[in-house]
Amino acid sequence: MLEMLKYLVGSAGASGYGSKSTAEEVTQSSTHLNSITAIVTGATSGIGEETARVLAKGGARIVIPARNLKAAEEAKARIVSELECFDHSRITVMVLDLSSLNSVMNFVSEFESLNLPLNLLINNAGRFCYEHAISEDGIEMTFATNYLGHFLLTKLLLNKMIETAESTGIQGRIVNVTSNIHSWFSGDVFEYLSQISRNNNKYREYDATRAYAFSKLANLLHTVQLAHRLQEMKANVTVNCVHPGVVRTNLNRDREGFIKATSCYVATHRKVENVNGKYFADCNEQGSCESNTKSAHLAERLWSTSEIIVSNLTGKPQP
């Protein structure tokens, strides 16, 4: 009850921000954004677009990947129209369908050909499939888009982020947007994964909410294992995950809410420097990702299983 009251009144937490803080407020002290290049998935609407707009307003170079180029160009136009004297060439629109592993690999190849640095990777895109659908790779669509595509995207871009951090001295940050709905998933993770990670047109027990909750649990477990790996590598790159709050987006068109600032806070604020593997909500740390999963032992196994799935589907062994 106390936490709900704090949320409703927007009480500031230890960070100095709360549920009613705006993205612009939390980035005001980030004077280094003009040196930053950020990839923001899902930036054609909602939280992703607001994140891209605020980062661009601070001077960051933004890459907007999208499967719908028209929607991406429209989002770019909206952002540019709101920012005075902004160089529109600092926002790059590129093709990326996260439900397609081939599209992810093509996107990374094309991005690398631009010879741009990469400081921020904000894995924001999300999909809620009300009906059972499968990707071109034969994977349940919600899982393919929300988790597996982001898993491969992050893995392929990680060396670029590490190299950028080494050459610039600016710490790289990866932000995985999850949701507290991850706690709604129940059952055996790998039994469920075996059902949705193959082309199974006879799968009749589809539950849209359960599928979404599972994909968000996978995002959380991804953060747990990636944080461990970055620490072992002693890379100047961190990864954290955020529960962004409610907003009118294509995921949930019939509900209203505040556009949340948590993604921008975790991506840019000096208080989050060297913070790794943590879970944030309302711009405040809510413990480690491991403690939030309540099943940390699954993280390493999910990573290994994901590598096997990707290798089998693409024919390319994962390093």
CA gap 140, 279 in Å, rounded: 26
Instruction: Please compute the mean of the pLDDT values over residues 48-65 and round it to a whole number.
Output: 93
Torsion angle defined by CA atoms of residues 244, 92, 106 and 166, in that order, rounded to the nearest 10 degrees: -80
Q: Say if CB 72 and CB 39 are below 8 A apart.
A: no
**Overall CATH class of domain 2-314:** alpha beta
pLDDT in tens, 122-147: 999 989 999 889 999 999 999 999 99
pLDDT at residue 315 in the model? 84
The total of other beta-carbon atoms located within 10 Å of residue 192's CB is 18
pLDDT at residue 125 in the model? 93
pLDDT at residue 56 in the model? 93
**What percent of the chain is modeled with pLDDT above 70?**
86
CA gap 95, 151 in Å, rounded: 17
Instruction: Please compute the mean of the pLDDT values over residues 298-312 and round it to a whole number.
Output: 93
pLDDT at residue 238 in the model? 98
**Residues annotated as part of the active site:** 206
pLDDT in tens, 185-223: 878 888 888 888 765 555 557 889 999 999 999 999 999
CA gap 308, 315 in Å, rounded: 10
Query: Quick check: 292 pLDDT over 80?
Result: no
pLDDT at residue 285 in the model? 82
Query: Quick check: 52 pLDDT over 70?
Result: yes
Query: Quick check: 180 pLDDT over 90?
Result: no
Query: Quick check: 282 pLDDT over 90?
Result: no
Delimit the domains of the chain by residue range. Answer: 2-314
Query: Quick check: 250 pLDDT over 60?
Result: no
pLDDT interval class at 7 (50, 70, 90): very low
DSSP codes joined into one string, 129-166: -SS--B-TTSSBHHHIIIIIHHHHHHHHHHHHHHHHHH
Considering only residues 286 and 144, tell me which one the structure prediction assigns the higher pLDDT: 144
> What is the maximum alpha-carbon separation in the chain?
55
Indicate the pTM of the whole model: 0.90
Considering only residues 147 and 14, tell me which one the structure prediction assigns the higher pLDDT: 147
The dihedrals phi and psi of 38, each to the nearest 5 degrees, come to -125, 140
pLDDT at residue 259 in the model? 52
